[in-house]
Each structure stands twice: as C-alpha cells, then as structure tokens.
Structure 1
C-alpha cells in the first residue's frame, strides 16, 4: 500500500478546515509534518488534491472524489481497531440537531447514549435545519436530526417522529379569548417567527402559503426562547413546535390559538450521508433514537 492512514487523516482534516495549521492543531502535529504528509501523498501518485489560494486549501476535483472513500476507509479502520481492543462500542459520533430538536429532544437522547456507551466520544451541535443538513453533506457531522423537509443528492432522509406547530399569544391578547381564529385575524396580527432556513419557518410558510404575502412579520428570530419572550411581551403572535411550548402553556404565560383550515403538522427526520460508512456507534445511536419516536 503506497499511502498511510495518517496521510488520509491529514487529508480529511485539511479538507474540513481548509487550512493546514488548523488541521495540524486538530491532529496534534506540527504544521510542517502535516504539510509534508499532504505533499508526499500528492507526490507518490503525481496528483493535486488541493487548489492553493493563499492560506486556504480547497479540494480539487480529484480531492472531492477522494474524500468519501477516505472517510469510509478511516471509519472502518477505527471500527477495526475497536474490535481488536475489545468488543466494546467505541469511537467518535458527531451528532447535529436543528434548534427545536436540539433544545428539547436531543439532549436526553445524548445523555442516555453516553451512559450506555461511555467509550464513544459523542458530541452534539445545534443549528438550524439548513446548517445541519449541509454539515452532514460536507462530512462534518455523522448524523443529523432535523425538522421539516430537506433534499440533497448525497443525503438519505428518513422519517423519525411526528410534530405539530402551534400558533400562540400572550393571555391578554385580544385573540386569546376567541375559540378559534381565521384568515382575517391572522392577516391583521403582528407576527414573530423563526428565520428562513429553519424547519419551523419552512412549515409555517407552507401552512400559510396562500396568505403569506399579506402577513405582517415584524420580527424573525433564530432562537425559540427569544420568540416566546417577545410574544409574552405582547409584540404579536408566534408559531413554534408544541414541544417547545408545553411548559409555558402549563404556567399560563402563553395561550394556544386554534387556527381554522391550516395544517401545521410535520415530520422530524434523521439525515445521513449516502456515501459515508456507519459503524456500530452510529447504529446504536439510530436504535436509541427509535425509542424516542413518540
């Protein structure tokens, strides 16, 4: 074999960071050693894996084609080492979750996973649906838990559990005393909603598609708690996952509104890369997620 696993580790770290010094820091090696590993790999096969633009190293066309195979080979090597060292599930697992899932569902799953598999270095990144899906597509995350719908040619999207958005207001809002609200009330109200690119916003836009241009959206906020505080302050109506509102409804600080003729249901999904190898650490995570389907 004319290449080493260490060379592939340096190649992948550089591909992710687009910077040799950052890749070297990640791998706890000197920058000169990291640079030498890349140069030697390119020299051995007379290829160019990166386009050099100042301090940035961007994958060449060949580098893009090599990356999935290198990811796969290293994942299998890590699993082989774990098997040689014992039958314990080990390795690394990088999980991503969109904001509602990350704040209200993923942490208990991660806690149970770490307790069951302490030898796995499991981490959680929370961002909006678009960012999580793109990170999985770019091999930065092993698996993502997302809200709403997403399509990418390299991604496998599997339905996980059902969810529903809920329109809500503060108790003193004029609509709080109504048994249900229709299009006229929705159009006349001020709205505080999630930002474009989030799964929640995607479902909100779909549910309101025919009156969306007429809605008065006064604020777009990235964080669920910020939207709840703004609605509690009387700034308008909100629309978020019921999961995120249960405690506020019990306290009475927010009030659910029944909206006539609007479908706010959605699927939460598990997203993975089609070309990425998934070992035992991933399979155990997937099995645990199935226990949290409802």
Structure 2
C-alpha cells in the first residue's frame, strides 16, 4: 500500500510516467502497474492521461491529499521508532518569545549541544502569539511563550516564574524616589512592546491592576530597542528581570519601588496535544524545566 501511494504521489508531482519512473529507479511498466493496482483498489480512475500530460482528476485530488498525509505519518512513525532504538539525534525546531528566546534560551541550547551534539536545533524568535500559531500548525516542535495562554488543542506546561520590574534610566526624575504614586506613573511616557507580545500583555494587565490609563505611549517591536530608549531617557517601561539583569549590574538601568510590583507571570512550554515526542524533544524539555538562570528571582 505504501509503495502504491509513493508511486502515485510521484507521478502526480512529476505529471509524467517516465520522469516518475526515473526518480523512483523503476521501469515505466512497473510504475503503470502500481497505478493500475491502486485504481483497482480505490475503485475508480485517478489520473487523466494523454500524450502530453498526466493530471489528477477529482478522485485523484482526494487520494493525493490523503496519500501525502499517510506517507508523512509513516515517515514520522519510522523516525520515532528509530529514535527509540538509537542515540538522541535529528532536527529539533524550537520557538520562543523574545524575552526567553534572546536572554535565556541560548544558554539552554549551548548545554544541549555540549551533551547531545547529534541533536540539531533550529531556533525561531517571535512574539508569543506567533510562536503559539506555529506550534499549532506543526511548523515548530515546541514553543516557549509568556503570560497566560489557553488552548484545549495544546499542551501548556508552566515551567518558570518571571518577575517584571518598572525600569527607568538613573537620570530619570523618579529614580531613587521613595514614594511613587499611581498618578506619577500615569503621567509618564510608557515604552511598550507590540500587540501579541507577552511583555505587552503583562504591561496592560498591570495598568488594569493599578487602575491607570497612560495616554503617552511609544510602541517598539524589540526589547533591546526599548532598553536603549529607556536608557536615553525617552520614558519608562516594564521588563523582565532576565532581560535587564546586565544593565542593572552596570547601573545603566534602575528599578522603581512601586506597590504592586514586581509583576509576576509564567513562562510555559507549548506542544501539540497527543503528539508523540522524539527523544530530542523530551531531552530539550527536561533541560528547560531544570534550567534556572542566575539571579532569576532576585
């Protein structure tokens, strides 16, 4: 059955029996026999043939769509069995939100590469919404997202807390001030991430909790640009400790003491529900669960 489907898909892709036979290292009569056998089993013709072309008919389009899916599942099944019997290896596609992806994930991946050099990771960094969509569409094996995320078709596993602080430059008029009111914060220019970002979600949640509605905002799609802007004195922001710990040590950014802060949120591992995991994926997820960045809860 698998060979019949493989031959059928190749003929459909190449639109030619001779080219399909060449690719499959088979004779043209053998290819024709496989197609006839499949058509007899399905109970109808699947291809329109002429001297110039070979095309799928309506029934052929249905069989072609499902044949590709069946062949893909067969390949994945074989990979999982091979993986079970051998050393962890192969490609692993990982997605992460900007905060975790830029400031923590490189250290996890470095450790994995040191102990499991046969695993080849491919990293995608984007905001949490995009990462979740790519996991759902099977473009990624696993995602790491920020904040609150709910989807019954996804397996969502919180694995770490993140503390987020109000940040200003050392020269800012609020820096070092003992008592900062909510009215003070509302008057400031806030530098925020774009919609869909976990950091933006946390900031909006904080605004609601503090019952403030800042009217002056600047929106950037990069945490690094936000840090540079705050250092330059353009405004105030809310960022993860993981993103600003180096600047705090250097004294180029300082945190404000405000009631209701720091804001706490989760980082979560995201995978498709009821999907089999390769050894490589299980190893990576264990490394993530056990990795605690230095000073993460300071």
The normalised TM-score by structure 2 is 0.75
Secondary structure of the corresponding residue to residue 208 of structure 2: coil
* SS of corresponding position for 2:190: strand
Alignment partner of 1:96: what SS?
strand
- CA distance in 1 between counterparts of 2:123 and 2:4 reads 30
Q: Which residue of structure 2 lines up, in the alignment, with residue 133 of structure 1? A: 132
Question: 2:2–2:71: 8 Å Cα contact kept in structure 1?
Answer: no
Q: Deviation at 1:177?
A: 2.7
CA contact (8 A) 2:186 2:212 kept: no
The unaligned stretches of length 5 or more in structure 2 are: 15-19, 25-34, 47-60, 294-298
Query: 1:170: Cα distance to partner?
Result: 0.7
Deviation (angstroms), 1:235: 0.6
> 1:114 deviation in Å?
1.5
CA distance in 2, matches of 1:155, 1:8: 34
Moved more, 225-234 or 180-189: 180-189
SS at match of 2:267: strand
Distance 1:64 1:151 in 2: 31
For structure 1, which runs of at least 5 residues remain unmatched after alignment?
A: 11-19, 22-29, 35-39, 49-59
Partner of 2:97: 98
Q: Please list, as runs of the form range in 1=range in 2, the aligned pairs for 1:1-294 lying within 5 A after superposition.
A: 1-2=1-2, 72-82=73-83, 87-209=86-208, 214-262=213-261, 264-293=263-292
Contact 2:155 2:271 in 1 (8 A): yes
Residue 136 of structure 1: how far off its partner (Å): 0.3
Contact 2:182-2:212 at 8 Å conserved across structures: no
Aligned partner of residue 145 in structure 1, secondary structure: strand
Residue 229 of structure 1, CA deviation: 0.6
Deviations 1:236-272 (A, max 9, x none): 1011101111111111111101121356100100000
CA shift, 1:216, in A, is: 2.8
1: CA distance between counterparts of 2:2 and 2:273?
27
Distance 1:277 1:145, change over 3 A: same
Q: C-alpha separation between the residues in 1 aligned to 2:63 and 2:262?
A: 46
Q: Which has the larger radius of gyration?
A: 2
Does the CA-based 8 Å contact 2:167-2:256 persist in structure 1? yes
What whole-Å deviation, never above 9, does each CA across 1:187-243 have from its counterpart, x for those lacking one?
010010111101111111112115677213421111111001111111110111011
In the alignment of these two chains, the number of paired residues is 259
Structure 1 residue 75: Cα displacement: 2.6
Cα distance per residue 1:143-166 (max 9 Å; x no partner): 011111112232111011010111
Report the RMSD for the aligned CA atoms in angstroms: 3.7
Q: Deviations over 1:21-64 (max 9, x none)?
A: 9xxxxxxxx9x979xxxxx8x9785799xxxxxxxxxxx99999
1:54 aligned residue: none
- TM-score, with length taken from structure 1: 0.76
